[in-house]
Amino acid sequence: MSTALDGIRVLDFSRILAGPWASQLLGDYGADVVKIERPGSGDDTRQWGPPWLGGEGGESAYFLSTNRNKRSVTIDLKTDAGVDLARKLALEADVVIENFKVGTLARFGIAAESLRDSNPRLVFCSISTYGQHGPKAHMPGYDAMIQASGGLMSVTGAPDEDNGGPQKVGVAVADIMTGMYAATAILAALTERDRSGAGQTIDVPLYDSQVAWLANQNMNYLIGGVVPERRGTAHPNIVPYQVFETADGHLMLAVGNDSQFRSCVACLGLPELADNPEFASNSSRVQNRRTLVDTLGIAFAERTTADWLTALTDAGVPCGPINDLREVFTSDYATERQLVLKQTHPLDNELPAVANPVRFSKTPVCYDKAPPLLGQHTEAVLREWLGYSAGSLDSLREAGAI
């Protein structure tokens, strides 16, 4: 069965997370993704364990999380033969993704402009910390510093009055969202190429991406003029919309409109709150947040989480448990929706992987390739993409290029 990106070739020079996340998505959708890695060491995340698949020295769980549906080719860009080989591969690609320090590939003669002279249909996507131009373009960076400097940590964590402080998110979400922006931009550029016949260059900075997806928090500041505060699990614009303690744990309540609020307080045995002008509308509830939350908190503490989840769900009030990952992956929902799948890997015939959440009706997501071993596909790719013979491959090995 065909996939959405059948016939699209992606040459991926990126490493760590943002770029690999983008290329994994393209691979999921059927593109032929070739990952270029350093001989001997490869992507930095191959060393980011434990845990390891196959024991110490095997494959790190981190690397496995973001590199399926790719083929690994090792090329030493410190050699002239390696640079020449990388350029030849780029001229056969539809898409190039890179996240080197700004200007690095240009020094190798693999800049977007020079490649497009010979491959005018090429879509060239650069991911960096602060973009390809500007006063900070030369500066490197990692996810945590972007979560901090890009505003996310200022709105994440418990408030000061609750003895809280700034917190980063538990996954590298700035990297992941940058990868998502990059993937959608590449798909948009490929669509435009179908009309114009020409590729283009894409510049996706981590910092700009982090700022962009702060969404309503951005507009709260730009329209309201007040710097958003940390509110823990609470929502800045909707009340009640946060975690509440129960008799034996916690639950997340997500009341999104006045009708749901009326159902919620009726379920809690506090129906009079719905007619109280201090709480009758969301706007008034936001203004009187502390009083309302304290009142609801007393009621929630009287029954167990399971009791409240049943009662609130039956009343049509959005809520949910706070599950750890064991609970997530052992749930009936995970089984029914096939959230975990198995892939055949050289180190494990049943390597678990988390499914792509997208479900296509015609062009299914591809799971053909498990994350590759370092250099696993070097010979195969060079034969397929460039038509290299065994003798040519031997010469590249002798030159230290692969």
Asked whether residue 249 falls in the same domain as residue 361, the answer is no
- Domain count for the chain: 2
Asked whether residue 91 falls in the same domain as residue 193, the answer is yes
Q: Residue 8: its pLDDT value, please?
A: 98
CATH of the domain at 288: 3.30.1540.10
Asked whether residue 276 falls in the same domain as residue 192, the answer is no
pTM: 0.95
Asked whether residue 259 falls in the same domain as residue 376, the answer is no
Asked whether residue 64 falls in the same domain as residue 161, the answer is yes
When mean pLDDT is compared across 162-166, 188-192, 280-284, the lowest value belongs to: 162-166
Catalytic residue from among 28, 43, 94, 175: 175
Of 302, 322, 342, the residue at which a domain comes to its end is 322
The pLDDT tens digits for 112-126 are 999 999 999 999 999
Asked whether residue 255 falls in the same domain as residue 199, the answer is no
The mean pLDDT of the chain is 96
Classify residue 158: in a domain, yes or no: yes
Q: Which amino acid is at 121?
A: R
CB-based contact 238:261 (threshold 8 Å): no
Of 298, 322, 346, the residue at which a domain comes to its end is 322
Classify residue 89: in a domain, yes or no: yes
Please give the structure tokens belonging to residue 164. 């809280």
The pLDDT tens digits for 76-108 are 999 999 999 999 999 999 999 999 999 999 988
Asked whether residue 107 falls in the same domain as residue 165, the answer is yes
Asked whether residue 62 falls in the same domain as residue 169, the answer is yes
Of 280, 298, 322, the residue at which a domain comes to its end is 322
Those residues with Cβ within 8 angstroms of residue 298's Cβ, 6 or more apart along the chain or in another chain: none
The pLDDT tens digits for 322-343 are 999 999 999 999 999 999 999 9
Asked whether residue 59 falls in the same domain as residue 195, the answer is yes
Asked whether residue 34 falls in the same domain as residue 146, the answer is yes
* Mean pLDDT value across residues 359-372: 96
Q: Residue 57: its pLDDT value, please?
A: 85
The pLDDT tens digits for 34-54 are 999 999 999 999 999 999 999
Classify residue 38: in a domain, yes or no: yes
Asked whether residue 192 falls in the same domain as residue 275, the answer is no
Place of tokens 């996706």: 204
Classify residue 165: in a domain, yes or no: yes
Residue 258 to residues 243, 247, 264, 265, 363, Cα–Cα distance (Å): 19, 26, 10, 11, 41
175 is catalytic: yes
Asked whether residue 139 falls in the same domain as residue 204, the answer is yes
The pLDDT tens digits for 237-273 are 999 999 999 999 999 999 999 999 999 999 999 999 9
CATH of the domain at 167: 3.40.50.10540
Classify residue 21: in a domain, yes or no: yes
At residue 1, does pLDDT exceed 80? no
Q: Residue 131: its pLDDT value, please?
A: 96
Residue 223 to residues 228, 237, 282, Cα–Cα distance (Å): 12, 13, 18
Q: Residue 109: its pLDDT value, please?
A: 87
Classify residue 112: in a domain, yes or no: yes
The residue range of the domain holding 246 is: 241-322
Classify residue 14: in a domain, yes or no: yes
Those residues with Cβ within 8 angstroms of residue 334's Cβ, 6 or more apart along the chain or in another chain: 328, 340
DSSP code per residue over 275-299? GSTTTSSHHHHHHTHHHHHHHHHHH
Q: Residue 77: its pLDDT value, please?
A: 95
The pLDDT tens digits for 11-30 are 999 999 999 999 999 999 99
pLDDT band at 234 (very low <50, low <70, confident <90, very high): very high
Q: Residue 134: its pLDDT value, please?
A: 92
Classify residue 140: in a domain, yes or no: yes
